[in-house]
Amino acid sequence: MKILVIEDEIQLADALSELLKRSMYSVDVFNNGIDGLDNALTGIYDCILLDIMLPGMNGIEVLKNLRTEKINTPVLLLTAKSEVDDKINGLDCGADDYLTKPFVTGELLARVRALTRRKGEIVDENRLEYHGLELRKNTCSISCGGNDVKLSLKEYNVMEMLIANPGQILPKERIIEKIWGCESDVEYNNIEVYISFLRKKLTAIAAEVQIKTARGIGYFME
């Protein structure tokens, strides 16, 4: 999953990025409202952590712009303000949740998990299943019928996208944007390499599902 952090306190932004990456999220960080909004408008993120007090454009304005443009990405507001009126204002403007600084990291991660729950078959917060295939977040591995194999972070991210969107063709452009970022110079053959690795690992664990190619478009699970 891909998380966008819009936070002007550099030290906090870096700490949030490191925390989320250790929890197997892909993270982009921006330190002002204008750049944050430009990237949030791409719609490629699964969740946005948004500070209210930002240079360039405050978090409430960022939020209003997102909702005006029909971007429904879940937003968790982060702010040092604790007054009830500020919370109400943020939620009324389209925020999905609100966390007051300072916060406990465990609570932050729990709220992110709550906002990014998939519609697919989730066993618990660390496992995602699809037709006997089990993707484990805490061990960065995939298993089937007692067979288990480790995944690299990029392999995990690609597999998560495929399992979270069963039967849906994922265009190569969307995979690149989601996993490598909008400004990445990654080429299509990089994706092909990871797909090849994943296919071999699915074969190694005798999985019943396969990664199919939609010629000229992208990939899907079958």
- Residue 42 — pLDDT band, cuts 50, 70, 90? confident
pLDDT tens, position by position, 180-189: 876 677 788 8
Beta bridge partners of 129: 121, 134
Give the integer Cα–Cα distance in Å for 128 and 110. Answer: 17
What percent of the chain has pLDDT above 70?
94
Give the integer Cα–Cα distance in Å for 219 and 202. Answer: 15
* pLDDT at residue number 120: 42
Give the integer Cα–Cα distance in Å for 79 and 173. Answer: 34
Answer whether 61's CB lies under 8 Å from 54's CB: no
Question: In which residue are the tokens 């067979």 written?
Answer: 147
Query: Does residue 74 have a cis peptide bond before it, meaning omega lies within 30 degrees of 0?
Result: no
Structure tokens at 50: 């948004």
Please say if the pLDDT value at position 82 is more than 70: no
Give the integer Cα–Cα distance in Å for 77 and 17. Answer: 16
Q: Is 191 exposed, middle or buried (0-12, 13-18, 19+ CB in 10 A)?
A: buried
**Domains of the chain as residue ranges with CATH:** 2-115 (3.40.50.2300), 121-221 (1.10.10.10)
Answer whether 211's CB lies under 8 Å from 193's CB: no
Structure tokens at 42: 């791409």
> Residue 156: left if φ>0, alpha if ψ -120 to 50, beta else—which one?
alpha
- Residue 74 — pLDDT band, cuts 50, 70, 90? very high
The pTM of the full predicted model, rounded to 2 decimals, is 0.67
Please say if the pLDDT value at position 206 is more than 70: yes
Question: In which residue are the tokens 């999905």 written?
Answer: 96
Q: Which of 27-36, 72-81, 87-96 has the highest mean pLDDT?
A: 27-36
pLDDT tens, position by position, 112-168: 988 887 544 444 567 888 888 999 888 999 999 889 999 998 999 999 889 888 778
